[in-house]
């Protein structure tokens, strides 16, 4: 069971069909990398490699938080390509299709190193121990929390506090609702197996988006007046909304661009260093439209939507807020970690 304690929602390959709806298989490798190493894996610079496909919203969170906190030197990153087959994500973007640090083509190999009979989905994000080549954890919700709380010795100077103690209870409530209703809510629409389950999923998603639209009309960020982990979690779904979820997953009451507060909020974050510079819209589209054969049997990837709007002024400063609190924005994206030119209005 994941650290979210939830098995609600849907998952592409690790899902189980329950009647016409879907239930996400929320069993993960929940070993933690901690300061005291109580699970056998202490925080140690250079010891681990984060594997995170840019296409995946859950993996995208880890790329954002790693960059906001400045963990690039302590934790290297491997970036599988946008698509995968029934076996595994692959490092098809790397020279010869092999991750230069792990020396593998299939991410599956790192899972099988951990457990030769690994029975579940080969998912990203995953953190792999470089020396053993074995996956340590793929517990996506815990990974970013641990970046904030266990890797503090390696945070950059000026790293923001993404889990401010004063707001933690409220954050947990907000993140919980965002997870079940929005992050998973779009999948629940897209993978619905009957009209009835789709209708229900659609209503449930839009109830939550209406709540967020209202909440973000009067406040710049989800909780408090700085960016937090809650914003990271909502942002990765919003970035995929018009390119993918609106059409491919039939979440089409409105586009993100038709929701004034949410669209301005998403642009504000997109234009904040550490958020938009992790987004590869081309990889995102490739992933969903190619991998989900049953939803899109032709595999045709749409050319649109036009993305120029992401860089237009958002005017959210008028709501106040201090994005990085007492901290500072991260510096430029590292060489070798930039989004491919032409794949985003920022790239
Ligand atoms: N958050 C996900 C875990 C991460 C995840 O689902 N990643 C997807 C990509 S967006 C994945 O790796 N799918 C490959 C597979 O399941 O085989 C979950 O709740 O199950």
Tell me how far the alpha carbon of residue 11 lies from the centroid of ligand 1, in angstroms.
Answer: 6
Nearest protein CA to atom 2 of ligand 1, as residue: 58
Query: Average pLDDT in the 248-277 region?
Result: 98
Nearest protein CA to atom 1 of ligand 1, as residue: 58
Phi, psi of 76 (to 5 degrees): -75, 170
Task: Evaluate: CB of 49 within 6 angstroms of ligand 1.
Answer: no
pLDDT at position 1 is: 30
Cα–Cα separations (whole angstroms), residue 2 to 6, 138, 142, 193: 7, 9, 8, 25
Asked if residues 41 and 129 have their Cβ atoms less than 8 Å apart, the reply is yes
Regarding beta strands 76-78 and 48-51, do their DSSP bridges make them parallel or antiparallel, or are they unpaired?
A: parallel
Q: Residue 136 — very low, low, confident or very high, per pLDDT cuts 50/70/90? A: very high
Q: Residue 9 — very low, low, confident or very high, per pLDDT cuts 50/70/90? A: very low
Query: Average pLDDT in the 257-265 region?
Result: 98
What token pair was written down for 262? 């949410």
Q: What is the DSSP letter of 335?
A: T
Alpha-carbon distance 281 to 256, whole Å?
A: 15
Half-sphere exposure of 310 (CA within 13 A, CB side): 27
Alpha-carbon distance 288 to 301, whole Å?
A: 9
- Terminal-residue alpha carbon distance, the chain: 37
Q: Which of 11, 63, 127, 239 to mutate to test the pocket of ligand 1 (most atoms within 8 A of CB)?
A: 11
Query: Average pLDDT in the 291-300 region?
Result: 96
pLDDT at position 27 is: 74
Alpha-carbon distance 59 to 62, whole Å?
A: 5
Catalytic residues: 56, 187
Tell me how far the alpha carbon of residue 25 lies from the centroid of ligand 1, in angstroms.
Answer: 9
Tell me how far the alpha carbon of residue 196 lies from the centroid of ligand 1, in angstroms.
Answer: 25
What token pair was written down for 30? 């929940």
pLDDT averaged over the chain? 93
Known binding site: residues?
89
Nearest protein CA to atom 19 of ligand 1, as residue: 26
At 166-213, the pLDDT tens digits run 999 999 999 999 999 999 999 999 999 999 999 999 999 999 999 999
**Which domains, ranges and CATH numbers included, belong to the chain?**
15-154 (3.40.30.10), 165-319 (1.20.1050.10)
Task: Evaluate: CB of 309 within 6 angstroms of ligand 1.
Answer: no
Known binding site for glutathione: residues?
89
Q: Which of 123, 124, 191, 232 to mutate to test the pocket of ligand 1 (most atoms within 8 A of CB)?
A: 123
Q: Residue 218 — very low, low, confident or very high, per pLDDT cuts 50/70/90? A: very high
Asked if residues 61 and 144 have their Cβ atoms less than 8 Å apart, the reply is yes
Q: Residue 3 — very low, low, confident or very high, per pLDDT cuts 50/70/90? A: very low
Asked if residues 163 and 145 have their Cβ atoms less than 8 Å apart, the reply is yes
At 285-295, the pLDDT tens digits run 999 999 999 99
CA 25 to ligand 1: nearest atom = 20
Cα–Cα separations (whole angstroms), residue 116 to 16, 60, 113, 119, 144: 22, 27, 6, 9, 27
């Amino acid at each position: 069971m994941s650290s979210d304690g939830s098995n609600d929602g849907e998952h592409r390959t690790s899902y189980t069909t329950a009647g016409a709806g879907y239930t996400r298989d929320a069993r993960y490798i929940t070993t933690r990398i901690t300061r005291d190493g109580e699970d056998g894996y202490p925080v140690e610079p250079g010891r681990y490699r984060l594997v995170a496909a840019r296409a995946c919203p859950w993996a995208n969170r880890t790329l954002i938080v790693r960059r906001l906190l400045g963990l690039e030197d302590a934790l290297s990153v491997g970036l599988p390509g946008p698509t995968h087959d029934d076996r595994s994500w692959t490092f098809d973007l790397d020279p010869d299709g092999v991750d230069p640090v792990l020396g593998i083509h299939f991410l599956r190999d790192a899972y099988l190193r951990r457990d030769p009979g690994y029975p579940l989905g080969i998912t990203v994000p995953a953190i792999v121990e470089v020396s053993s080549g074995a996956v340590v954890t793929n517990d996506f919700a815990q990974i970013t929390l641990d970046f904030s709380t266990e890797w503090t010795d390696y945070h950059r100077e000026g790293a923001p506090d993404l889990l401010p103690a004063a707001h933690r209870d409220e954050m947990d409530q907000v993140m919980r609702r965002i997870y079940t209703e929005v992050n998973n809510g779009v999948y629940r629409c897209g993978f619905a197996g009957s009209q009835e389950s789709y209708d229900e999923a659609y209503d449930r998603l839009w109830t939550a988006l209406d709540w967020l639209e209202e909440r973000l009309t009067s406040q710049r960020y989800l909780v408090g007046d700085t960016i937090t982990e809650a914003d990271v979690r909502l942002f990765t779904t919003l970035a995929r909304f018009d390119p993918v979820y609106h059409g491919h997953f039939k979440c089409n009451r409105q586009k993100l661009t038709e929701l004034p507060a949410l669209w301005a909020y998403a642009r504000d974050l997109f234009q904040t260093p550490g958020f938009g510079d992790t987004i590869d819209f081309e990889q995102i589209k490739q992933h969903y439209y190619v991998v989900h054969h049953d939803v899109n049997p032709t595999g045709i990837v749409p050319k649109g939507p036009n993305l120029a709007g992401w860089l237009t002024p958002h005017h959210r400063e008028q709501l106040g807020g201090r994005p990085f609190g007492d901290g500072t924005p991260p510096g430029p994206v590292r060489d070798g970690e930039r989004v491919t030119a032409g794949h985003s209005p920022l790239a």
